[in-house]
Amino acid sequence: MNTLPLARPAARTALITGANNGIGLELTRRLLTEGWHVAALIRSSFAADDEVTTRAIRDGRLRIYTAELTDFPQLAAALQKIQAEETSIDMLFNNAGGSLPELRFSPQGREMHYELQTVVPYIIYREMKELLLRGSFKTVIGTSSNAFNYTKAFDADKLARPQRFKQLTGAYADTKLAMSLWTQALSHSEAQDGILLRSADPGPNNTIRKGKKSGLPFPVNYLMRFFFAPPTQGAGRLHEAAFGTHKSEAGALIDKNGIVKLRFADQAKRVLENVDRVYREEFRILM
């Protein structure tokens, strides 16, 4: 008696921004070893001597989409390519970020941390929503920070064009907080569609890159270089936020101890309004 072969389950796919360095790279490696496919939205290439990613690229399990995320025409082109080539996305990790050494502005004229760490994750989610709805996990994890624990004042309307700049605890911390705030504000409506939005604090990790000027104050730079955990720790915490104890939570910020109560939550709606305006009035016209 002839029997039909069992249907092979479709591969799970995670979209990861900043997937080729630091925490994003370690998360990419981990998911690949767990049998996932990864769509990497990155600015530069993976290292040629990385055996795990090189093999996955060759096998088609790691697919690369390239863009400078803060340049809207480049981002739009990359997202259009993802929409055309990926059939579904099970998990979105909005991970790309970084601490700059001085005040800089994006091609659209907004402060660079704000564009990269607050606005762009919102845009990517909005454009990837249809693919997420076709996926299984339907979950979005944004990489946040605990640096905003030192924030004494927060104004959602001043993030795009700050008058002053402070390393780490200034624009970097404020815009990580802003991402967690819009995640919280948006989470209820998106949960009704079956999509769970969360953010995660990866903790202190040594993510210093050779040849790149750090945006960290000297004491923090020193501590990071010699005492912080390797980025596998941060990747593990993002993984836990996605698949662990709080995998059914919507809107929460997760750290190593559990759910964190967000400061300045009264401005969450305003942050969401601001990023949504950028998306509707500036970005959508490019798609």
Domain boundaries, the chain: 13-286
Homologous superfamily of 13-286: NAD(P)-binding Rossmann-like Domain (3.40.50.720)
- The CA-atom distances, in angstroms, between 81 and each of 32, 140, 227, 250 are 22, 20, 40, 29
List, for residues 91-146, the tens digit of each pLDDT value. 999 999 988 989 999 999 999 999 999 999 999 999 999 999 999 999 999 999 99
Band the pLDDT of 224: cuts 50, 70, 90. low
Q: Look over the chain and give the mean of its residue pLDDT values, rounded to a whole number.
A: 90
DSSP structure string for 195-241? -EEEEE---SB----TTS---S-HHHHHHHHHHSBPHHHHHHHHHHH
Mapping DSSP to helix (H, G, I), strand (E, B) and coil, where does residue 245 land? coil
What's the pLDDT score for residue 150? Answer: 82
What is the mean predicted confidence (pLDDT) over 78-95? 98
Band the pLDDT of 2: cuts 50, 70, 90. very low
CB atoms within 10 A of CB 37: 21
CA distance 14 to 128: 11
Band the pLDDT of 147: cuts 50, 70, 90. confident
**pTM, 2 dp:** 0.91
Burial of 263 (0-12, 13-18, 19+ CB in 10 A): middle
